[in-house]
Structure 1
Amino acid sequence: MRTAKVLVLLASYNGDEFLEEQLNSILNQNSVATDIIIFDDGSKDSTISVIERVISKFPNRITLLHNDEPIHNPLHSFSFLTEYVKEKKMVMNYDFISFSDQDDIWLPNKIKNSVDLILETDAKVSISSGISTNLVNKANITTYDKRVYTFGEALLKNNAIGMTMVFASDFFESIIFPENINLKIWLHDHVMYLIALYQGVKIVFVREAGVIYRQHSRNVIGDTKANLITQLKSKIKYVNNSQSDRKKIANFLRNNYIGTHENQKLLDDYIEYEKKSIFVRLSIVHPRKIFAEKHNVYIVTKLLAILKKL
């Protein structure tokens, strides 16, 4: 069996402190051949020098792209990378495509474990967990659900973290990324997860952790300690922003993809739910519809549906 070829799409911005170790961990993966395309969003530190130093050690394996009009938004960066490799007809030169952050460390078998499971199960996407190390404080690290969500669960929250995702190239080639949609908090990984789930694409969960996720003061997202009032304010803001993003992506999916019959019905019900009676609004929060496994979150979701804030 030939060695699988994997193209890794990486977004960078002021990542000089951690980037070299990350790049080396990607380029030294076991049993697969990896190349990297980096989209730098206007770094002001020595990130570019770090990248050029690694390129000198691994010639022809890294392509560096520069953003002339920096936006500092991961969704934009990964959307650009996705469209770039499709426009340049690069996707089908590889067997698999993966996303990467700039500040993690990939364990040696990260890609191999994902590729093996995808091939064994005839899946199109894999997700996995990671090992978090907090470099700021002793905050508790979020434990994401170690399974694949239903479409209804993923409409509520995300457990597919971008740097753990691996895509079969034929599925990745079919992706249409949302353009000119200003999402407030949802990122590329959540959008890709929903696109796959909505269509009924087979997704598998790799049990072995593949990434060391380093949390530090410059993370875009991450787990931190906060007092109760701060947590409450954060939750309220998250709920409001999530409602906005959920509506935008729901309409994007309906207009651009063909979902399974069940998922189409759920999406239509969600898009129209605010116009319905309180009893119909309550019925959309259900284990076979929009659902959260944790009881307290399930109750809160019911309340949001009543208040038309879902």
Structure 2
Amino acid sequence: MPAPINSFKAALTSGTPLIGCWIGLANAYTSEIAATAQFDWLLVDGEHAPNDLRSILEQVRVIEGSGSTPVARLPIGETWMIKQYLDAGVQNILVPMVESGDQARELVRAVQYPPRGVRGVGSALARASRFAAIPDYLKTADEQICLLVQVENRLGLEALDDILATDVDGVFVGPSDLAADMGHIGDAGHPDVIEAVLDAIRRIVAAGKPAGILSLDPVMQRKCLDLGATFVATDIDVTLFAKAIRAAAADGLSLLPDQVASGIAQTGAASKYLQQLCKHWSHKAQVTFDETQGSVSFPDGNRVTLSAGDTSLTVIAATRARGDLARWQQVIEAHLARFAFREEFRIDWSG
């Protein structure tokens, strides 16, 4: 009986586009939930998520029982670590920060048994061989291992042709680290970064290798697929959960009443101060005003409405249910007092 057929590798080899998701919550329960979504593949991240081999194995197990294929990203491409992942039964691995053809060749040797490679022979102890229940595992395992390497800086791009000349099974382009290395940290959508990524995808596809990428931008996803990328991750469980739980909290808190305080300042320059305050905040908030009425609304929910009379300025301050109303009142009064430095300005917040 041979090693289990790697359908993920077979699909990549045939050019079938596969859509995946990054899994970084480092928890088998949430990974099992993700597996119900039926992505083609799920990448369990050992580089930037708080995973170790045991937690990765737990997640690989639950994903294997679904219709999705598990892929594991190692923290680093060390031969001893690759051996442990493979013996644990992970057939698809992604190695980060590959920068040369020589490095890629060493990684290929690390996933193959002698005489072609240097993978240690310990299959009798290994989950990969079902603990010696697969008698032909040692002779058939090499062909079922899928080695994906990640090119994510300028060195890697410069060495891309050499990397593509090796027996790696696919090349994944990392836009975020590439952006940082190109001087655009935090801006993977910078035109120079996009151009470099798309050029790399073209070169990978032209070399006959599967090309992959993680991008949350639907436009970029479409461009990469149109260029022939075949393993594309379109989302991340961490960001999906963070967005959803924050939106749920905002929806729930919106059911509660806003906090409101009103006050009056005695001044003969009410219209002037109203307009100054609105103009001052117009670059960071939604503002409308004329000589007698003004309103300012910030994205965090802090709002102020102002009404100018001949001898007084009426101020209504509001925050969301869990806002810091007292602090917001202080901010409004401090700004108005700055404009009214020629007089003793004070808001009576008693209403």
* Fold shared by both chains (TM-score > 0.5): no
TM-score (norm 2): 0.22
- Higher Cα Rg: structure 1 or 2? 2
